[in-house]
Amino acid sequence: MGDTWDRNREEQVMRIHRNGCCGLVIDIQERLFPHMQQKEELLKNSLLLMEGIQILDIPVLVSEQYPKGLGKTIDPVKRALKGIDPIEKIAFSCCDEPLFSEHLGRSGFRTVIICGIEAHVCVLQTVIDLLATGYLPVVVSDCTDSRKRNDKIVALERMKTEGAVITTTESILFELTRKAGTTEFKTISRLIK
């Protein structure tokens, strides 16, 4: 199948294939999460996304922004991630944290499926930096949020304009699954219902 995405092609192939992907959960932390505009939807969809991509054997990276001040990843997300250690950062963009860049670079994955907060700060800056370094960020819109609704709307629009793929939880899970009739499809279908 080749690369998931080729930035040099005049017409970009945007079909997302799971063999070239990793997930990224950005800063869903104790002192940030309660202030999100649509926190219940964010949590429900993020947990669904995490479970779905793990069913599909897609590895996940997790970041925490200054955990001393903003707290750790919230418990439901920690449980869903099954012991994945977060990468601490103080820069807004995950790409400015050397440990994150090292992990991502070593992984060989070129497509990064993203959920997290805040859409207009850490998510946006990470997306822009991923694009600048040849990755394809796939932002799951119903798994991102900000304190203010307009900040999220504007951030998603900018990410799309910059070249990120914007999608939803259900859409990306079925795109990664590719066909009905498999055990993975049946498991993910049950999750979504």
Question: What pLDDT shows up at residue 131?
Answer: 98
In order of their start, the domains of the chain are: 19-192 (3.40.50.850)
User: Which residue(s) pair with 145 in the sheet?
Assistant: 117
Contact 138, 113 (CB under 8 A): yes
Residue 56's pLDDT is what?
95
Query: What does the pLDDT average to over 98-126?
Result: 96
Mean pLDDT, the chain, integer: 92
Tokens of 180: 């009905």
Peptide bond into 10 cis (omega under 30): no
User: Quick one: pLDDT at residue 107?
Assistant: 92
Q: Is the pLDDT of residue 13 over 70?
A: no
User: Average pLDDT of 135-140?
Assistant: 97
- 73-81 mean pLDDT: 96
- Locate 90 and state its tokens: 């103080």
What pLDDT score does 9 carry? 46
Lowest mean per-residue pLDDT among 42-56, 90-104, 157-171, 178-192? 178-192
Distance of alpha carbon 182 from alpha carbon 154, whole angstroms:
38
At residue 7, the 3 state secondary structure works out as coil
Cα(71)–Cα(3) distance, rounded to whole angstroms? 37
Full DSSP string of the chain: ---S--TTSSS------GGGEEEEEE--BTTTGGG-TTHHHHHHHHHHHHHHHHHTT--EEEEEE-HHHH-SBPHHHHHHTTTPPPEEESSSSGGGSHHHHHHHHHH---EEEEEEE-IIIIIHHHHHHHHHTT-EEEEEEEEEE-SSHHHHHHHHHHHHHHT-EEE-HHHHHHHHH-SSSSHHHHHHHHHH-
- Six-digit token pair at 49? 């996304």
Catalytic residue annotation: 27, 89, 122
Of the pLDDT bands very low, low, confident and very high (cuts 50, 70, 90), residue 12 is low
pTM score, whole prediction: 0.92
Instruction: Give the pLDDT confidence of 86-109 residue by residue, as tens digits.
Output: 999 999 999 999 999 999 999 999
Percent of the chain with pLDDT over 90: 84
Q: Look at residue 181 and give its three-state secondary structure.
A: coil
62: which residues sit within 8 A by CB, 6+ positions away?
24, 25, 73, 81, 84, 85, 86, 87
pLDDT tops 60 at residue 10: no
Give the position of tokens 């959920």. 115
- Give the residue-averaged pLDDT of 6-15: 56
